[in-house]
Protein backbone atom coordinates (compact mmCIF):
# COMPACT_ATOMS: atom_id res chain seq x y z
CA UNK A 1 0.00 0.00 0.00
CA UNK A 2 1.12 3.44 -0.81
CA UNK A 3 1.24 6.13 1.85
CA UNK A 4 0.74 8.89 -0.75
CA UNK A 5 -2.36 10.71 0.47
CA UNK A 6 -3.83 13.40 -1.71
CA UNK A 7 -5.42 15.90 0.66
CA UNK A 8 -4.83 19.10 2.53
CA UNK A 9 -3.27 19.44 5.92
CA UNK A 10 -5.10 21.11 8.75
CA UNK A 11 -2.85 24.17 8.52
CA UNK A 12 -3.48 24.59 4.80
CA UNK A 13 -7.22 24.36 5.35
CA UNK A 14 -7.10 26.92 8.18
CA UNK A 15 -5.10 29.35 6.06
CA UNK A 16 -7.61 29.11 3.19
CA UNK A 17 -10.53 29.50 5.60
CA UNK A 18 -8.89 32.54 7.24
CA UNK A 19 -8.31 34.24 3.90
CA UNK A 20 -11.94 33.57 2.94
CA UNK A 21 -13.22 35.04 6.22
CA UNK A 22 -11.09 38.19 5.84
CA UNK A 23 -12.33 38.78 2.29
CA UNK A 24 -15.98 38.19 3.22
CA UNK A 25 -15.80 40.49 6.27
CA UNK A 26 -14.30 43.28 4.15
CA UNK A 27 -17.20 42.87 1.71
CA UNK A 28 -19.79 43.09 4.49
CA UNK A 29 -18.32 46.33 5.87
CA UNK A 30 -18.06 47.77 2.38
CA UNK A 31 -21.73 47.05 1.58
CA UNK A 32 -23.16 48.30 4.89
CA UNK A 33 -23.37 52.00 3.82
CA UNK A 34 -25.24 50.93 0.69
CA UNK A 35 -28.12 49.66 2.82
CA UNK A 36 -29.18 53.17 3.90
CA UNK A 37 -28.92 54.49 0.34
CA UNK A 38 -31.12 51.69 -0.95
CA UNK A 39 -33.58 52.15 1.91
CA UNK A 40 -33.90 55.86 1.04
CA UNK A 41 -34.46 55.09 -2.64
CA UNK A 42 -37.11 52.48 -1.88
CA UNK A 43 -38.95 54.81 0.52
CA UNK A 44 -39.06 57.74 -1.91
CA UNK A 45 -39.97 55.57 -4.89
CA UNK A 46 -42.86 54.04 -2.94
CA UNK A 47 -43.98 57.42 -1.57
CA UNK A 48 -43.96 59.03 -5.02
CA UNK A 49 -45.87 56.10 -6.52
CA UNK A 50 -48.47 56.26 -3.74
CA UNK A 51 -48.91 60.03 -4.12
CA UNK A 52 -49.32 59.71 -7.88
CA UNK A 53 -51.82 56.90 -7.36
CA UNK A 54 -53.82 59.00 -4.87
CA UNK A 55 -53.82 61.89 -7.33
CA UNK A 56 -55.03 59.67 -10.18
CA UNK A 57 -57.61 58.11 -7.88
CA UNK A 58 -58.98 61.58 -7.06
CA UNK A 59 -59.22 62.46 -10.74
CA UNK A 60 -60.75 59.19 -11.90
CA UNK A 61 -63.31 58.99 -9.08
CA UNK A 62 -63.97 62.77 -9.03
CA UNK A 63 -63.59 62.81 -5.27
CA UNK A 64 -61.17 64.42 -2.83
CA UNK A 65 -58.45 62.14 -1.45
CA UNK A 66 -56.88 62.96 1.91
CA UNK A 67 -53.21 62.14 2.45
CA UNK A 68 -52.32 61.80 6.12
CA UNK A 69 -48.86 61.20 7.60
CA UNK A 70 -48.82 59.90 11.19
CA UNK A 71 -45.24 60.64 12.15
CA UNK A 72 -45.22 59.11 15.63
CA UNK A 73 -46.53 55.78 14.22
CA UNK A 74 -44.22 55.87 11.16
CA UNK A 75 -47.01 55.40 8.65
CA UNK A 76 -49.10 57.26 6.11
CA UNK A 77 -52.40 56.55 4.49
CA UNK A 78 -54.77 57.85 1.84
CA UNK A 79 -58.51 57.88 2.37
CA UNK A 80 -61.60 59.20 0.58
CA UNK A 81 -63.38 60.34 3.72
CA UNK A 82 -63.23 59.76 7.43
CA UNK A 83 -64.95 56.60 8.57
CA UNK A 84 -63.99 54.68 5.43
CA UNK A 85 -60.97 52.41 5.42
CA UNK A 86 -57.91 53.83 3.65
CA UNK A 87 -57.26 52.59 0.13
CA UNK A 88 -53.50 52.98 0.67
CA UNK A 89 -51.79 52.47 4.00
CA UNK A 90 -48.02 52.13 4.38
CA UNK A 91 -45.67 51.76 7.29
CA UNK A 92 -42.16 53.07 6.85
CA UNK A 93 -38.87 52.66 8.65
CA UNK A 94 -38.18 54.39 11.95
CA UNK A 95 -35.05 55.77 10.24
CA UNK A 96 -37.29 58.39 8.58
CA UNK A 97 -38.47 61.41 10.52
CA UNK A 98 -41.08 63.69 8.92
CA UNK A 99 -41.54 67.31 9.96
CA UNK A 100 -43.97 69.96 8.86
CA UNK A 101 -42.64 72.78 6.76
CA UNK A 102 -44.83 75.31 5.01
CA UNK A 103 -47.58 72.68 4.78
CA UNK A 104 -48.76 70.29 7.48
CA UNK A 105 -48.46 66.53 7.18
CA UNK A 106 -52.08 66.43 6.03
CA UNK A 107 -53.37 67.62 2.66
CA UNK A 108 -55.87 66.68 -0.02
CA UNK A 109 -55.80 65.95 -3.69
CA UNK A 110 -58.85 67.65 -5.14
CA UNK A 111 -61.04 66.04 -7.79
CA UNK A 112 -59.11 67.84 -10.54
CA UNK A 113 -55.74 66.49 -9.28
CA UNK A 114 -54.57 69.71 -7.65
CA UNK A 115 -53.55 69.87 -4.01
CA UNK A 116 -55.53 71.99 -1.57
CA UNK A 117 -52.25 73.34 -0.09
CA UNK A 118 -48.89 73.94 -1.65
CA UNK A 119 -45.50 74.16 -0.04
CA UNK A 120 -42.98 71.77 1.49
CA UNK A 121 -42.41 69.41 4.36
CA UNK A 122 -39.19 67.76 5.42
CA UNK A 123 -37.99 64.18 5.66
CA UNK A 124 -34.91 63.48 7.75
CA UNK A 125 -32.84 60.30 7.65
CA UNK A 126 -29.73 59.40 9.62
CA UNK A 127 -27.38 60.80 6.99
CA UNK A 128 -29.40 63.06 4.69
CA UNK A 129 -32.25 65.55 4.74
CA UNK A 130 -34.89 65.84 2.04
CA UNK A 131 -37.64 68.27 1.16
CA UNK A 132 -40.90 67.18 -0.49
CA UNK A 133 -42.39 70.14 -2.34
CA UNK A 134 -45.88 70.47 -3.81
CA UNK A 135 -46.18 73.10 -6.51
CA UNK A 136 -49.13 75.38 -6.95
CA UNK A 137 -51.46 74.12 -9.68
CA UNK A 138 -51.71 70.63 -11.20
CA UNK A 139 -50.60 68.90 -8.00
CA UNK A 140 -47.05 68.32 -9.15
CA UNK A 141 -44.45 67.49 -6.54
CA UNK A 142 -40.78 66.62 -6.29
CA UNK A 143 -38.19 65.55 -3.73
CA UNK A 144 -34.87 67.34 -3.32
CA UNK A 145 -31.92 66.58 -1.10
CA UNK A 146 -31.01 69.34 1.34
Domain edges within the chain: 35-145
Element (H, E) at 99: strand 97-100
Q: pLDDT band at residue 93, thresholds of 50, 70 and 90?
A: very high
Percent with pLDDT over 70 in the chain: 94
How confident is the model at residue 2, as a pLDDT?
55
Q: How far apart are CA 140 and CA 113, in angstroms?
A: 9
Checking if the pLDDT of 145 tops 70, the result is yes
If pLDDT is split at 50, 70 and 90, which confidence band does 4 have?
low
The number of beta carbons lying within 10 Å of the beta carbon of residue 134 is: 22
pTM recorded for the entire structure: 0.76
Q: In which band, very low, low, confident or very high, does the pLDDT at 111 lie, cut at 50, 70 and 90?
A: very high
pLDDT tens string 26-54: 777 776 667 778 888 999 999 999 999 99
Looking at residue 31, its pLDDT comes to 65
- State whether the Cα torsion 117-80-139-134 is positive or negative: positive
d(CA 13, CA 24): 17
Query: What does the pLDDT read at residue 32?
Result: 64
Q: What is the DSSP letter of 142?
A: E
Q: How sure is the predictor about 3, in pLDDT bands with cuts at 50, 70 and 90?
A: low
- According to DSSP, residue 51 is labeled H
| CATH number, span 35-145 | 3.55.40.10
Which residues does 113 contact at the CB level (< 8 Å), separation at least 6? 55, 56, 58, 59, 138, 139
Query: What is the rounded distance in angstroms from the CA atom of residue 67 to the CA atom of residue 29?
Result: 38
Amino acid sequence: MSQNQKGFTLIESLIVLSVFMIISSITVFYLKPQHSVIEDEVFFTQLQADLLYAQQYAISHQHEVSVIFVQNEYRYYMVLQYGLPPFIERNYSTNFNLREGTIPLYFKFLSDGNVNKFGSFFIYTKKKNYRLTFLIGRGRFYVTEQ
